[in-house]
Amino acid sequence: MATQNPIAAPPVTLAEFAGLPEYPRYELVKGALVELMVASEEHEHTASLTHWRLSAHVFPNGLGRVYGSNRGYVTGADSPATSRLPDVSFVSAARLRPDVLGRLYDGAPDLAVEILSDSNTPAEMAQKVAEYLNAGGKAVWVIDVDARTLIIHTPDAPPQILTDADTVNGGDYLPGFVCAVADLLPR
């Protein structure tokens, strides 16, 4: 999801953040509200393709749940707090637990998928990847539609860059998942 500059506000707590109306949509970044921009059609289409491919594997195999961009994850509970909204996410059945404050998952998903937008900076994306992995995430996929690449970040290996000619697999975080990278990208 694309972001814009933070909205000026005093540090916002997780409880205050969870109490905000669902729209407009925000992430909480070190206590600051950051409004998410409306995604492009290409961005949304990529998110839909990714969600569909993951769901087609996860649900029949009882592996857990796949979520869209409305699922918030607390990636930093220290004051000031941080909560992110990945474009697509997967939480394994073993890690499913009740949300905190009614709307936010405590910790990172097993897999967070971020789709690059024109407004994303490399520093911002690196920060998000680090937050997900430091909060217990097992993998982060960063999809660049323009470059037709998928970069896999895991805590124990250097980033792996796949092109649309490659196949992505779910490793130990999404057992048995295999998909052509091209099938996650608009044609």
Tens digit of pLDDT for each residue in 106-134?
899 999 999 998 888 889 999 999 999 99
**Range among 2-11, 70-79, 93-102, 170-179 rated most confident:** 170-179
pLDDT given for residue 8 in this prediction: 46
The CATH homologous superfamily for domain 39-184 is tt1808, chain A (3.90.1570.10)
Q: Please determine, for residue 2, whether its predicted confidence score (pLDDT) is greater than 70.
A: no
- Which stretches does DSSP call E strand in 20-137? 26-29, 32-36, 64-67, 72-76, 82-84, 88-92, 104-106, 111-115
Torsion of CA 10, 13, 15, 20, to 10 degrees: 40
CB atoms within 10 A of CB 22: 8
Q: Please determine, for residue 1, whether its predicted confidence score (pLDDT) is greater than 60.
A: no
> Whole-prediction pTM value?
0.88
pLDDT given for residue 175 in this prediction: 96
Helix (H) or strand (E) run with residue 88 in it:
strand 88-92
Q: Please determine, for residue 3, whether its predicted confidence score (pLDDT) is greater than 70.
A: no
Residues 11-62: tens digit of each pLDDT: 888 888 888 877 567 888 888 888 787 778 899 999 999 999 999 999 999 9
Q: Please determine, for residue 4, whether its predicted confidence score (pLDDT) is greater than 90.
A: no
Side-chain-side CA neighbours of residue 106 (13 Å): 10
According to DSSP, the β-strands at 111-115 and 149-154 are unpaired
Domain ranges of the chain: 39-184
Q: How much is the average pLDDT of 94-113? A: 85
Task: Phi first, then psi: give them for residue 126, nearest 5 degrees.
Answer: -60, -40
The answer to whether the beta carbons of residues 141 and 152 sit under 8 Å apart is yes
Give the three-state DSSP class for 179.
Answer: strand
Q: Both tokens of residue 28?
A: 């909480």
